[in-house]
Amino acid sequence: QSALTQPASVSGSPGQSISISCTGTSSDIGNYKYVSWYQQHPGKAPKLMIYDVSDRPSGVSNRFSGSKSGNTASLTISGLQTEDEADYYCSSYTTSSTIVFGTGTEVTVL
Amino acid sequence: EVQLVQSGAEVKKPGESLKISCKGSEYSFANHWIGWVRQMPGKGLEYMGVIYPDDSDTRYSPSFQGQITISADKSIHTAYLRWSSLKASDSAIYYCARHVNPTMRKNGMDVWGQGTTVTVSS
pLDDT < 70 regions, chain A: none
Cβ-count burial A95-104 (b if 16+ within 10 Å, e if not): eeebbbbbbb
How many Å is the maximal CA-CA distance in chain B?
Answer: 42
| pLDDT value of residue A13 | 97
Span B73-121, pLDDT tens digits: 999 999 999 999 999 999 999 999 999 988 888 889 999 999 999 999 9
CB–CB of B45 and A45 under 8 A? Answer: no
CA separation for the pair A99, B104 (Å, rounded): 12
What single letter denotes the amino acid at residue B15?
A: G
* Closest C-alpha among A22, A5, A6, A11 to residue A85: A11
Task: Summarize the confidence of residues B14-35 as an average pLDDT.
Answer: 96
pLDDT value for A90: 98
Query: How many Å lie between the alpha carbon of A22 and the closest alpha carbon of chain B?
Result: 14
Q: Cβ separation of A51 and B112 shorter than 8 Å? A: no
Confidence at residue B102, expressed as pLDDT on a 0 to 100 scale: 82
CA B106/CA A19 separation, integer angstroms? 24
Residues 61-120 (B) with a CB less than 8 A from some CB of A: 61-63, 95, 97, 100, 106-110, 112-115
* CA A46/CA A102 separation, integer angstroms: 13
CA B23 from centre of chain: 10
Handedness of CA B22, A85, B44, B88 (dihedral sign): negative
Contact B44/A at CB under 8 A: yes
Dump the DSSP string for A7-69: -SEEEE-TT--EEEEEE--TTTGGG-S-EEEEEE-TTS--EEEEBTTTB--TT--TTEEEEEE
d(CA B78, CA B115) in angstroms, rounded, equals 15
